[in-house]
Homo-oligomer: A and B are copies of this chain.
């Protein structure tokens, strides 16, 4: 692989592979313990952290998908009784998404196992010094990505 040095490439592959394994384990756990996809869990957690209520747009923010994808997931969560949707009195174009009691309960049900997986696979095998380094490094990477101009804001179109 030209253009990157072996240790740079090694870093990339180790990162991608280990995160894939971690995500896979997390997905299994969430599905088994609470019948949730990782995305559904993220959405519930965002609501939880936001004290229970967000607009659709705010909820989607950062969980990169299309509007329609969020509508679909919100539909699933609503069907499962974990959220409700209601009009926003402030702005009648908006929809307020609210986490229900059952939604809270589902999080409570799933969280211990979730933490256990993350601890077992990521935290415990590393000395605390490395956990801190890793957090520090990846925070900088994340912040850099977030401030980067999207670059392919107008991605090349396949011929129509």
Contact = CB atoms under 8 A, between A and B. Distances in A.
Interface residues of A, number: 60
Contacts of A28: 152, 155
B19 A131 contact: no
A144 interface: yes
A3 B138 contact: no
Quickly give the copy total for this chain.
2
A141 B115 contact: no
A98 interface: no
Interface of A: 1-4, 7-8, 10-12, 14-25, 28-29, 32, 35, 62, 64, 111-112, 115-116, 118-123, 125-126, 130-135, 137-142, 144-146, 148, 151-152, 155-156, 158
